[in-house]
Chains A and B, each alone.
Chain A
């Protein structure tokens, strides 16, 4: 006897036995509890601020800040409003984070690959580096670099000199070109070259798809970049003027410089994160089965082609997600700059907080800045990750 399939009841079941109803109740309870807690805290905060006479609101952003910043990225003085001070802070955070990310990627990759070296000494050193640097708190490392750059280096008057680069308690001073409009032509040339290289490589790839012959693109690309950049430089009137630092009686004058605070933050973050990046790279390479490398050799790929077309694309899939985390960690750890007085966004907020007493607003600004950077980085990396993921059906 065939049993007629029971149709599920369309009507919402309002009894406790219904899973859907219980779920609804749980959700309402959870939202109510969290909402109640938030309301309680917010209510207390407003009440406390009223009693203590603390003003609230973001209007203070338009008042003059009244403090100087050690290394403004752009024109800033103490008469400028707070929002400009915060902007300088964000700029400084991004500056140290971006340079740090580039350096840590290079160093970490070298050390991670070094763990596979045929040379035992290189392997041992890379292992020792990783274990040493990742087992010491990053704050302690920052403080130690700061000590090195501000107290153990020679005075400015006895600065160490390599060519025109000076290193002393005053920071690192190096020659820099004087910016003239001619340089804009050079950059335009560079950008044009990059676009041209992109098209050239696409053409080469099409050629490969059509004929099976792989035209070498390296020298062609290099020539394009060099020629167009140099061409732009000539059109711009070939500017060669440099600001070369000179050692004076008491100071190193001229040139561009990095402050000891910036160097301490950069060194501390880069060396600490490089240890983690090295581990990420090592595990990524280790995750590609040995047979892949052997197969690549069997079909006659060169060592470079093997790395570029077989090993790296597979290793990158494993490497990218944890690498994103390391980049985000580096950016978030740059907030420790407050401990040594590098004017990043946390340090500026801290000063503003002490001056105006607007704790909620200043902390909200810090969190907002980091949330924006974190979320946008992870969106970008998720996009890149999706691009490099295995394409399945």
Chain B
């Protein structure tokens, strides 16, 4: 027992590097390796070079003066005055100026209904009633009456060739998706049918439509539909285009729905058959409720692409948002040089709508998948 061992603590290890907070994040994500640091420097330099230039043009030297000469002065950047001057023409198209409160109210009602339909709390059969009322209100406000009846409101008649701008974009996309949906479900069921004739009819329809561009369908609606109709029957251009877009959207949506149908295990159909349900009972009570729930995000994507695709109707001379931009700028020599500002305005409108819908689609996907989590 010669020596007593005196306990000596080892020096403490250094605290671990902080991994949270701004500085560690920068170190890890911007200067993690030398390649990363190099790209940070290059991208940063480009941003420093161009972002101020852009901001200068878009904000600091821009003007909102509605005098075209003020926009032409040297050193003036973006001329938002062009938008201020033209926004009613861009948003409402050729709709009579004094009556433009009507498309405004109609569109607001429709947008409210769209937002309401997106909220799970309101998902019930009352939505059908709500939509019926909304569509009736939309057409009464826009047209002045419903199919020529019900002009008790004393609104002047505005024919569909004067409709335009955002109200037309929103109506075309909403209505064509709503009409396409039942057709798509039927076609999707048909493609999985055991009856060869029905299966091939549906397959040919889907493949035919998906093989051609929307513009050719629209050309057909605009040039060939009049020939299709019996003598003396004429159909409104808007209606023809609506039918064209609906048929187009239905083919794409049918593929989405078919994906949902295929994702269900076969046991579901067999179980339904074993308790004696008929084909339609099986589809209605067992298959479709499950399949449609899984394809809601897909249908949402359909809606986004149709919303963007409605811009094509300007090629068959309906003045929706893109078309009414042309209406506002193409024939006006004063403001023509400031077309770009006009484009940026409608780009912003499209972007807000599409971005909001794509975020919603992500959210709804998470909601739908909740039931699959364990």
Given contacts A338-B215, A371-B212, contact A140 B350 (CB under 8 A): yes
Contact B195 A27 (CB under 8 A): yes
Q: Mark B18-54, 1 if CB is under 8 A from A, else 0.
A: 0000000100011011001001100110000000000
**Size class of the contact patch on chain A:** 35 or more
Question: Which A residues lie within 8 Å of B322 (CB)?
Answer: 137, 139-140, 143
Contact B227 A363 (CB under 8 A): no
Contact A119 B30 (CB under 8 A): yes
Q: Which of B182-241 contact A (CB under 8 A)?
A: 194-198, 201, 207-208, 210-216, 219-220, 223-224, 226-231
Q: Which of B312-371 contact A (CB under 8 A)?
A: 312, 314-315, 322, 337, 339-340, 343, 346-347, 350-351, 354-355, 358
| Chain A binding surface, main DSSP class | helix
Question: Which B residues lie within 8 Å of A26 (CB)?
Answer: 195, 198
Contact B340 A122 (CB under 8 A): no
Given contacts A45-B227, A135-B350, contact A34 B308 (CB under 8 A): no
Cβ-closest chain B residue relative to A349: B219
Distance in angstroms from A91 CB to nearest chain B CB is 17
| Chain B binding surface, main DSSP class | helix
Q: Does B311 contact A (CB under 8 A)?
A: yes
Contact B36 A27 (CB under 8 A): no
Question: Which A residues lie within 8 Å of B355 (CB)?
Answer: 131, 135
Q: Which of A134, A139, A144 contacts B311 (CB 8 A)?
A: A139
Cβ-closest chain B residue relative to A54: B227
Q: Does B309 contact A (CB under 8 A)?
A: yes
Contact A359 B227 (CB under 8 A): yes
Contact A119 B36 (CB under 8 A): yes
Q: Does A121 contact B (CB under 8 A)?
A: yes
Contact B315 A370 (CB under 8 A): no
Question: Which B residues lie within 8 Å of A34 (CB)?
Answer: 201
Q: Which of B32, B195, B314 contacts A139 (CB 8 A)?
A: B314
Among A58-66, A104-112, A280-288, A328-336, the one that faces the other chain is A328-336
Contact B343 A45 (CB under 8 A): no
Distance in angstroms from A316 CB to nearest chain B CB is 21
Q: Which of A27, A47, A121, A139 contacts B196 (CB 8 A)?
A: A27
Question: Which A residues lie within 8 Å of B231 (CB)?
Answer: 44, 47-48, 51
Interface hub of B36, B215, B355 (most chain A Cβ within 10 A): B215
Question: Which A residues lie within 8 Å of B346 (CB)?
Answer: 140
Cβ-closest chain A residue relative to B351: A135
Contact B308 A147 (CB under 8 A): no
Other A-B contacts than A121-B30, A136-B350, A346-B213, 18 sampled, CB-CB below 8 A, are A27-B195, A31-B197, A41-B228, A44-B230, A45-B224, A47-B230, A48-B231, A49-B227, A119-B30, A122-B43, A136-B308, A136-B347, A138-B308, A140-B311, A152-B340, A332-B212, A335-B213, A370-B212
Ordered by A's residue number, 8 sampled pairs between the chains whose C-beta atoms are within 8 Å are: A26-B195, A44-B227, A135-B350, A136-B308, A147-B343, A346-B219, A370-B213, A371-B212
Interface residues of B (CB under 8 A from A): 25, 29-30, 32-33, 36, 39-40, 43-44, 194-198, 201, 207-208, 210-216, 219-220, 223-224, 226-231, 304, 308-309, 311-312, 314-315, 322, 337, 339-340, 343, 346-347, 350-351, 354-355, 358
